[in-house]
Structure formats: C-alpha cells, structure tokens
Amino acid sequence: MAANFWTSTHGMHWLLSRHALAECRKVDLKVVTEQELIKVNIWFAQIITELGRKLSVRQVIIATAITYFKRFYTRNSFRNTEPNLVAATCMYLACKIEESPHHIKTVIAEMKAIIIEELEFNMIVFHPYRSLMTLAQDLGTKNDDVQWAWYIINDSYRTDMCLLYPPHVIATAALYLQIALKGGAQYGDYSLTSTTSNANNSGAAAGVTTRNARRGAGNNAGNVNETPKVKDIRLWFAQLNVDSEQIIDIVQEIISLYELWNEYSEEVKSNGLHELLSRLLNK
C-alpha cells in the first residue's frame, strides 16, 4: 500500500471532475436520467455489500470492491456489460488485494483480467476510515459519534464521492455532519490527550493535519499527559488542511443521498427498480 495518498495511483489517476464523470456516462444517460442512474448505483452497491456480508469480509474490502466497480464504469457502460458479474469479480479482486482471498469460478477469473486491464492495473485504494480515526482521536470524539460517522462513510459509497474527493476530505465531512446533527457545542468541554510521534505520523499519512500533528516535534514524553481544550469546534475544523467548499458539497450530497434513498426503497418494494434495471440493461 502506498504510504502517501497524493503520490499513489489513487491520488494521481482516480480523482475525477464531475464533468469528466458525466462524459463517462453518456451512453447510459441516453436511456435513464441522472437520478435513475444514482438509484442503479445504490442497487449494485447494496449487492456488493450483501455479498461481502455473506462472505464475512471486513468493511474495507466491501468499500474497495465498490470503488473498483465505480472505476470500471467510468470506462464502460451498464448497457454493454454484465454488472452482476462485474460486481462479483470486483469483490473477488478486493478480497485478493486486501489479502483475504476467496474461491472463484473460471467465469469470474476471465472477468478479473478484463477489470484489471480497464483499471490500468491501478489497484491501490485509499479509504476515509483511517483519516476518520485520526481526526476522532485528535478531537476526542465520543465512540458513538465515531461509529455514526463511520456509517456515513459507508453510505458515501452509494454515491460517486470515491471518484471525486480525496478520502480524508470525505472523512472530515462525515465527522462534521455527525457533529452538526448532534450539536457541536458539546465538544467545547472535551479534553484532548496529546499523542505520541507515531500518532502524529499517522495523521500525516492519512492526509489530514490535526492539532496533534501541528504540535509535531513539540511533543515529548514529558508532556504526554497534557490535556489541551478544543474551545471552538468551528475553529478546529477551520484549521484542518481541507477545502471547506468540498466539505459543504459532500455534506449536501450525503443529505441528498438519504432523500433519494427513501425513493429507492419505495421503488424496490414496488418493483419499480427492476423495471428501471430492465430498461437500462436491455441490449
């Protein structure tokens, strides 16, 4: 795994603009609307998630599989491929890359070669989970808030965020949204325990500059028990090396996702989604 996101193939080759993403989907958007295509992506993200749960794999493997799936469909259309086979193969590849291999049949092995070639052998994927834990440690976040922010990150894979934003920005937005939903004032009373140099290094590798990372060389064994206060949660977020406009965009997209997800759930119950899939995949 590459030590630094920005020098990895993920950072250099797999962050797209919204315009580039729209260009990739021209074929499918001739048949369905953009909103309908989002529902299709939710459907296949759910399929990959359920497959991962049946295989009892870690969440990171599920997230990697979904990312591979989304990357593949920036080079291909749903109409010209078999997405169920692609989804299964992406799960196999994710298991293999994350060193948790599972048995596959020959047909998936053949599809594996196609997907790897389409991804130009760029198999490294950075996820927001590591950055979330770094941020949470620096802020002194309650376990419940970390867990809910983790859930928000899981849900973000139903969108195109993994193709549009660096993972540390997604992690920051998830934590921001969770704190905003509960009210950030509570964090004014939180004490933060200074971390060791190892924690500081992990913050840099995760792509964020936290308060502890900024203290850097100033930390030593003599002040490990220091407990500085976060007096202003807004100031804490402002001091992170992230683009605030991207944070707002991600938060809005997550909220829109949940609104659309309600429609998606109703369409699943009414078989409306199956009609949509039939229209999209009808060769």
Better-predicted residue by pLDDT, 225 or 27: 27
- The pLDDT value recorded for residue 207 is 55
Phi, psi dihedrals of residue 191, rounded to the nearest 5°:
-100, 140
The CATH code for residues 128-257 is: 1.10.472.10
Mean per-residue pLDDT, 153-169: 94
Alpha carbon distance, N-terminus to C-terminus of the chain: 39
Q: Where are the alpha helices (DSSP H) in 192-243?
A: 197-205, 211-215, 233-238
* Cα 206 to Cα 167: distance, rounded to the nearest angstrom: 8
* pLDDT of 230 strictly over 80: no
Fold assignment, 5-125:
Cyclin A; domain 1 (1.10.472)
**Structure token pair of residue 159:** 């969108």
pTM of the model: 0.69
Task: Place 283 in a pLDDT band, splitting at 50, 70 and 90.
Answer: low
Domain ranges within the chain, ordered by starting residue = 5-125, 128-257
Rounded Cα gap, residues 19 and 163, in angstroms: 12
Residue 166 pLDDT exceeds 80: yes
pLDDT of residue 206: 52
CB atoms within 10 A of CB 192: 20
pLDDT (mean) for 64-76:
95
Q: What confidence category does residue 201 fall into, taking pLDDT thresholds of 50, 70 and 90?
A: very low
Residue of 254 and 229 predicted with greater confidence: 254
Residue predicted with more confidence, 104 or 78 = 78
- Residue 59: CB partners within 8 Å, gap ≥ 6? 52, 129, 154
Q: For residue range 86-141, what is the model confidence (pLDDT) as tens digits?
A: 999 899 889 888 877 666 665 466 677 778 888 878 888 899 999 999 999 888 88
Q: Which spans in 126-223 are helix H?
A: 128-139, 143-156, 161-164, 167-182, 197-205, 211-215
pLDDT for 226 beyond 80: no
Identical fold, 5-125 and 128-257: yes
Mean pLDDT of the chain: 79
* C-alpha span between 254 and 175 (Å, rounded): 12
